[in-house]
């Protein structure tokens, strides 16, 4: 197949120090993958408490790798030694590449990129892990826009292999090539994506999720649908997967696209109603399923 044309002229840059903004589900997973690949990594969170939680998440990811026999305890300790967690945004100053993984809200991301515009080195590569938002909507004010790209990981980011390298109209080929090289070092498979609704993986999953929602409305339970899809060969059922990823991300996206949605299209409101009831999946202990002390119970 060969390299896509956009990469042929690109030369990857040397990257050794990474910063991840936001150490939630994705940021901590991305940091785990980066640390495991040998990168010195800083997670920047919005409070000291959240920074501590982020560190615990990374430590938990590495502890489960030890349990599964993937790494030794010595390797875990050496990996964790490369991690810094902080609520001080200025810690991004020495990063070669910065990955934004804060809430999927344009305003929150825009505020982060506004800060990066001055706090990051002018040549630092800036990447966003956004699931759905066109990166240029919150990066338009950042100097040197040729250093911006999407790096869209999938959850759990330290385990899932696919990374979408999203090219904006300005992204320099060297920046794209750096994304590909870094993903390879993290033992992931990178694919190039243009800007479109949901990029590649989530665009396909959107249709899958809609159909799963119709089945739910038509009377099947989440557990029945999940069970059938696992027997079909999927590693997880759709509702288990949505609960794990967090229902808030799809909800925010459906709100954004509401104005342009085809009114003739069947629209299942079940996922919206769950979020509006204050439940967003595993993080809140409630979603399509209830989660109690690590175990899961099907809703009636
Ligand atoms: P999350 O809610 O688990 O984590 C977001 C983190 O960002 C929180 O820990 C929060 O404290 C932190 N944060 C918020 N504002 C901040 C700021 N100004 N400075 C520093 N930290 C800040 O969310 P999650 O699921 O990790 O998603 C993050 C991003 O990754 C979103 O853009 C989402 O669309 C994307 N994504 C999510 C996937 C998933 O399966 N959950 C998969 C792929 C991408």
CA 263–ligand 1 middle distance (angstroms):
31
Whose tokens are 């240029």? That residue is: 136
Chain-centroid distance of CA 86 in Å reads 20
pLDDT of 9 reads 79
| pLDDT, tens digit, 9 for 90 and up, residues 66-123 | 999 999 999 999 999 999 999 999 999 999 999 999 999 999 999 999 999 999 999 9
User: Which ipTM was obtained for this model?
Assistant: 0.99
The pLDDT tens digits for 250-295 are 999 999 989 999 999 999 999 999 999 999 999 999 999 999 865 6
- For residues 24 and 214, what is the distance between their CA atoms, to the nearest angstrom? 30
Closest ligand 1 atom to residue 23 Cα is: 9
pLDDT at 264: 94
* Residue 10 burial by Cβ neighbours in a 10 Å radius (0-12, 13-18, 19+): buried
pLDDT band for position 298 (cuts 50, 70, 90): low
Reply yes or no on whether the pLDDT at 1 is more than 50: no
Ligand 1 atom nearest to CA at 44: 20
Q: Cα of 46 to ligand 1 centre, how many Å? A: 11
- Residues annotated as part of the active site: 152
Among protein residues, the one whose CA lies closest to atom 42 of ligand 1: 154
Helix (H) or strand (E) holding 43: strand 40-44
Ligand 1 near 50 CB (within 6 A): yes
* Ligand 1 pocket, residue 45 CB under 6 Å: yes
What is the distance in A from the centroid of ligand 1 to the CA of 153? 12
Please state the rounded mean pLDDT for residues 230-249: 96
For residues 287 and 244, what is the distance between their CA atoms, to the nearest angstrom?
9
Confidence at residue 43, expressed as pLDDT on a 0 to 100 scale: 98
Between vectors from CA 262 to CA 152 and to CA 169, what angle results, nearest 5°?
35
Q: Whose CA is nearest to atom 29 of ligand 1?
A: 101
Ligand 1, atom 43, residue with closest C-alpha: 154
Out of 19, 20, 21, 27, mutate this one to test ligand 1's pocket (max ligand atoms within 8 Å of CB): namely 27
Tell me the domains of the chain and their CATH numbers. 5-193 (3.40.50.720), 201-298 (1.10.1040.50)
- Taking only the tens place, the pLDDT of each residue in 138-163 is 998 899 999 999 999 999 999 999 99
Please, which pLDDT band fits residue 300 given cuts at 50, 70 and 90?
Answer: very low
> Closest residue (by CA) to atom 19 of ligand 1?
46
- pLDDT tens, position by position, 163-205: 999 999 999 999 999 999 999 999 999 999 999 989 999 999 9
């Amino acid at each position: 197949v060969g390299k896509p044309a956009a990469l042929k002229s690109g030369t990857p840059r040397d990257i050794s120090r990474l910063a991840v903004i936001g150490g939630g589900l994705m940021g901590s997973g991305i940091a785990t993958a980066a640390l495991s690949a040998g990168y010195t990594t800083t997670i920047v969170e919005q409070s000291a408490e959240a920074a501590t939680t982020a560190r615990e998440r990374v430590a938990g990811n590495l502890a489960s790798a030890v349990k599964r026999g993937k790494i030794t305890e010595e390797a875990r300790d050496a990996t964790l030694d490369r991690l810094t967690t902080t609520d001080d945004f200025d810690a991004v100053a020495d990063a070669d590449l910065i990955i934004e993984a804060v809430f999927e809200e344009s305003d929150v991301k825009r505020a982060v990129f506004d800060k990066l515009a001055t706090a990051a080195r002018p040549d630092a590569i800036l990447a966003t892990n956004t699931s759905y938002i066109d990166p240029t909507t919150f990066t338009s004010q950042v100097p040197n826009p040729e250093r911006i790209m999407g790096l869209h990981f999938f959850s759990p980011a330290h385990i899932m292999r696919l990374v979408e390298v999203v090219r904006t109209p300005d992204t320099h080929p060297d920046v794209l090539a750096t994304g590909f090289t870094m993903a390879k070092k993290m033992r992931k498979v990178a694919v190039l994506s243009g800007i479109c609704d949901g990029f590649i993986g989530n665009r396909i999953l959107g249709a899958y999720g809609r159909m799963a929602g119709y089945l739910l409305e038509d009377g099947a339970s989440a557990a029945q649908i999940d069970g059938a899809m696992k027997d079909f060969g999927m590693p997880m059922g759709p509702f288990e997967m949505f609960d794990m990823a967090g229902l808030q991300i799809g909800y925010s996206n459906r709100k954004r696209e509401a104005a342009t949605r085809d009114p003739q299209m069947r629209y299942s409101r079940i996922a919206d109603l769950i979020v509006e009831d204050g439940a967003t999946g595993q993080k809140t202990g409630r979603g399509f399923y209830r989660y109690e002390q690590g175990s899961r119970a099907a809703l009636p």
